Amino acid sequence: MIRIRHADETPHEASEINVTPFIDVMLVLLVIFMVTAPLTTVNVPVDLPSSTEKPAPRPENPVFLTVKADHGLALGEDDISPEGLAAALETATKGDKEQRIFLRADKTVDYGTLMGVMDKLRSSGYLKVALVNLQGQEEGAQPDATSSSAASTSVTP
């Protein structure tokens, strides 16, 4: 007896992957990323409003570090050298590294100099720094003693 085999008698397994759902998901993700990518940039020019909030009360004996226009440093009323900053702060804070340092700088001091002073504060172990500014004063107006405030920032190593 001779048996004839027909091609459709044996079941065949499909060895191809159906990629249509995969392509659909990829196209949806592409559209989502195309829409959200421009929203993640912050290059939109904006004029930020000023704060009307009352400044935080000063501590009883604040430690003021001042960067003068000639890039010299003063701790309180006393001039100090950049090399003596760590020792002077140690004396002024009585070794308390958690005490907040109020950093004031002349408006003519460049950003690099100010960041250098903040780096020296961080390397000395003082991570709590408050930047002092004048609040409620227009450009060129004479400041008075009651109009200064501090914007607190924490320096992380």
Question: For residue 130, what are its two tokens?
Answer: 């408050």
Average pLDDT, the chain: 76
Residues of the chain with pLDDT under 50: 137-141, 143-148, 152-157
| pLDDT value of position 145 | 43
- Taking the mean position of all CA atoms in its chain, how far away is CA 35? 27
| pLDDT value of position 152 | 47
| pLDDT value of position 31 | 94
| pLDDT value of position 153 | 46
Residue located via tokens 């950003």: 111
Question: For residue 126, what are its two tokens?
Answer: 């003082």
Looking at this protein, which amino acid is placed at residue 28?
Answer: V
| pLDDT value of position 3 | 62
Query: Domains in the chain and their CATH numbers?
Result: 63-135+147-154 (3.30.420.270)
| pLDDT value of position 115 | 92
Its pTM stands at 0.55
| pLDDT value of position 147 | 44
Residues with Cβ within 8 Å of residue 13, at least 6 apart in sequence:
none
Alpha carbons within 13 angstroms on the beta-carbon side of residue 29 total 6
How is the beta sheet containing 63-67 ordered, strand by strand?
Answer: 78-80, 73-75, 63-67, 101-105, 128-134, 148-154
Cα distance between residue 148 and residue 10, in whole Å: 90
Question: pLDDT, tens digit, for every residue of 91-114?
Answer: 989 888 889 998 888 888 888 998
